[in-house]
Amino acid sequence: MMLCRECLVANGHHPNCPNAEDMPDQEFVLWFNGGTRQHFASEFAMRRAADQYGFDADDVLRFGEVDMLDDNGLIVGGCYVEEDAYV
């Protein structure tokens, strides 16, 4: 009997389990103070934005969200994993 380490379902996976073969790609949202948002449909696109705007893409994947700070330490935006993409 196989037991998924992520979702603990025997011989399969729960809907949208990250270990399932049919798991949809993660989507990401980059936001800025003032309401501007950019949506990214792939990890690759989010990593390109991380290089451009100077945030840590690995932290977005690890923690689900990361803030972008200006030179004074004030939050000017951020990037997060779009949770609604999995519902």
More confident of the two residues 72 and 83: 72
What type of residue is 42?
Answer: S
**pLDDT of the residue at 1:** 44
Report whether pLDDT(14) > 80. no
pLDDT in tens, 21-70: 555 568 999 999 999 999 998 899 999 999 999 999 999 999 999 999 99
More confident of the two residues 77 and 86: 77
**pLDDT of the residue at 87:** 40
